[in-house]
């Protein structure tokens, strides 16, 4: 990424601001497609909770993607940005049967991960095909907060409960058109993933009318030099062979689906902040930026590492800084980090700010959420205005109690 374009955008639209590089999203999408070019029917459903601006959704839709959603509101955003309901899959966890029914009536593919819901839904709508989210109990995650495959996870129907699933299916005559797993957010080891896939294949053989198998996501992307990333090419090679064997065995070519979030958008995002003040204490130099965990919470919430570059002085000599925000609470973005010399007024760019950054932002301290810009081949467009006081006051009711 050329820093000068980031600087130019920050001059025009001011900091703090999120900037997304469409070309990077496109490259990641095509990389995934290429890795699975040995599959007859491949479906990529972008997991929109990672970054849900409707212009981003529209951009990804035009690459050929479907949409993975976890709430009725995400379904509505998807439809607003041009997705046909049949290209949306809804994978909720712990939501009400009423919401599931509403989404189903919109024509969206439902993915159920709870036996009680399965039975209620199947009894009422035996002719609406549903997908079942299986928990294969494989630990693929890199962090306890985001591994969802272990035995006591709240996600999915345990693979040990398949006999119960089959009984519900038989009793209700409902149609199962897909099986799904999403084993965790950070796949490090391809063989662990393949192991989970084998469990899903075994399960899949028990359902006769499948149209797809959905392997979820959890592709790991590098956040800093030396980080391991999921080897998509190796995964593509190994899983394609197994999947094509499965189809032969099953007697028909079904669809292979994925739902990547982070993989598609993480590295495309840059979050730009301005340094309000430099503060030296006895042991530390703090760089205090015009943001905080109200805008980017991953470092504080998950301990995530986001590379920080000083785009105002990229060639300055490195010094050690602790980068903090302006929130009245500890909000450390980075501890003791080597960054080219920082002066007050410099613009710092946080990398990997595409996934789970803006979507997790808030109005804490009654601050405005930042603007968002979509950049594509040197052209850029404002895709969300910075909030203002009207947004903060919206829906508030001033009551004066005597
Ligand atoms: C969050 C989520 C994803 C996306 O995960 P990433 O790690 O961002 O790729 C995919 N599927 C489901 C069901 C999810 O909840």
Q: Is the pLDDT of residue 191 over 50?
A: yes
pLDDT value for 146: 47
Question: What's the angle, vertex CA 25, arms to CA 22 and CA 26, rounded to 5?
Answer: 85
- What CA–CA distance (Å, rounded) separates 228 from 318? 25
Measured in residues, the chain has a length of 402
Nearest by Cα to 293 from 268, 263, 329: 329
Contact 155, 133 (CB under 8 A): yes
Tell me which residue of 64, 56, 68 sits closest to 33, measured CA to CA.
Answer: 64
Residue 146 Cα: closest atom of ligand 1:
7
**pLDDT, tens only, 262-281:** 999 999 999 999 999 999 99
- pLDDT for the residue 193: 86
pLDDT at residue 211 greater than cutoff 60: yes
Radius of gyration of the chain (CA): 23
pLDDT tens per residue across span 285-331: 999 999 999 999 999 999 999 999 999 999 999 999 999 999 988 89
Q: What is the torsion angle, in degrees rounded to the nearest 10, for the CA atoms of residue 354, residue 357, residue 360 and residue 362?
A: -130
The predicted-structure confidence for 135-149, as pLDDT tens digits, reads as follows: 988 765 555 444 555
Q: Is 260 in the pocket of ligand 1 (CB under 6 A)?
A: yes
CB 272 within 8 A of CB 19: yes
Domain boundaries, the chain: 91-260, 266-386
Q: What is the mean pLDDT of residues 185-197?
A: 78
- pLDDT above 70 as % of the chain: 96
Tell me which fold the domain 266-386 belongs to.
Answer: Lyase, Ornithine Decarboxylase; Chain A, domain 1 (2.40.37)
Question: Is residue 292 lining ligand 1, measured as CB closer than 6 Å?
Answer: no
Look at the domain 91-260 and name its fold. Answer: TIM Barrel (3.20.20)
CB of 142 shorter than 6 A to ligand 1? no
Which atom of ligand 1 is nearest the CA belonging to 186?
7
Mean pLDDT, range 139-162, rounded to an integer: 70
**Test site for ligand 1: of 28, 50, 131, most ligand atoms within 8 A of the Cβ:** 50
Residue 347's pLDDT is what? 98
- What digits encode the pLDDT tens for the residues 54-71? 999 999 999 999 999 999
Atom of ligand 1 nearest to the CA of 264: 9
Tell me the best of 185, 232, 354 to mutate to test the pocket of ligand 1, counting ligand atoms within 8 Å of each CB and taking the most: 185
Contact by Cβ (8 Å): 1, 267: no
Bridge partners for 189 per DSSP: none
Look at residue 381 in the predicted model and tell me its pLDDT.
98
What is the C-alpha to C-alpha distance for residues 78 and 86, in angstroms, rounded to an integer? 11
Identical topology for domains 91-260 and 266-386: no
Q: Is the shortest distance between the CB of 367 and ligand 1 below 6 Å?
A: no
Name beta bridge partners: 213: 179, 256
| Centroid of ligand 1 to alpha carbon of 112 (angstroms) | 15
Give the Å distance between the CA of 86 and the centre of ligand 1. 19
pLDDT classification of 189: cutoffs 50, 70, 90: confident
The more confidently predicted of residues 187 and 266 is: 266
* Nearest residue to 357 via CA among 329, 333, 375, 382: 333
Contact yes or no for 70/33 (Cβ under 8 A): no
- Tell me which residues are annotated as active site: 328
Pick from 17, 24, 28: nearest CA to 1: 24
pLDDT at 192: 83
Residues 6+ apart with CB under 8 A from 138: 149, 183, 192, 193, 195, 196, 199
Provide the mean pLDDT of the chain: 94
Q: Does residue 218 have its Cβ closer than 6 Å to ligand 1?
A: yes
């Amino acid at each position: 990424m050329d820093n000068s374009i980031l600087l130019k955008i920050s001059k025009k639209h001011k900091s703090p601001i999120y900037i997304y590089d469409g070309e990077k999203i496109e490259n990641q999408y095509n990389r995934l497609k290429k890795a699975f070019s040995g599959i007859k029917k491949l479906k990529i459903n972008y997991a929109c909770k990672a970054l849900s601006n409707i212009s981003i959704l529209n951009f990804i839709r035009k690459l050929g993607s479907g949409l993975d959603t976890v709430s009725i509101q995400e379904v509505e955003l998807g439809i607003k940005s041009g997705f046909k309901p049949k290209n949306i899959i809804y994978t909720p966890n712990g939501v009400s049967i009423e919401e599931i029914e509403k989404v189903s009536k919109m024509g969206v593919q439902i993915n159920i991960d709870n036996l009680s819901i399965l039975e209620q839904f199947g009894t009422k709508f035996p002719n609406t095909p549903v997908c079942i989210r299986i928990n294969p109990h494989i630990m693929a995650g890199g962090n306890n907060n985001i591994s969802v495959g272990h035995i006591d996870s709240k996600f999915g129907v345990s693979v040990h409960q398949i006999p119960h699933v089959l009984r519900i299916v038989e009793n209700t005559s409902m149609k199962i058109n897909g099986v799904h797993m999403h084993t965790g957010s950070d796949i490090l080891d391809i063989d662990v993933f393949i192991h989970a896939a084998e469990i899903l294949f075994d399960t899949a053989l028990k359902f006769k009318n499948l149209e797809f198998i959905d392997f979820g996501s959890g592709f790991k992307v590098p956040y800093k030099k030396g980080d391991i990333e999921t080897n998509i090419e190796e995964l593509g090679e190994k899983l394609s062979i197994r999947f094509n064997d499965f189809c032969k065995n099953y007697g028909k070519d079904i669809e292979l689906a994925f739902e990547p979030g982070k993989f598609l958008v993480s590295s495309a995002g840059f979050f730009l902040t301005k340094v309000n003040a430099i503060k030296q204490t006895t042991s530390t130099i703090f760089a205090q930026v015009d943001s905080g965990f109200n805008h980017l919470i991953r470092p504080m919430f998950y301990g995530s590492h986001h590379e920080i570059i000083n785009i105002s002085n990229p060639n300055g000599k490195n010094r050690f800084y602790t980068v903090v925000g302006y929130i009245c609470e500890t909000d450390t973005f980075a501890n003791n980090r080597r960054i080219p010399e920082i002066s007050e007024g410099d613009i710092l760019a946080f990398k990997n700010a595409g996934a789970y950054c803006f979507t997790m932002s808030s109005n804490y301290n009654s601050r405005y959420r930042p603007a968002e810009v979509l950049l594509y081949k040197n052209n850029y467009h404002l895709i969300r205005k910075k909030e203002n006081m009207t947004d903060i006051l919206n829906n508030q009711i001033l009551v004066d109690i005597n």
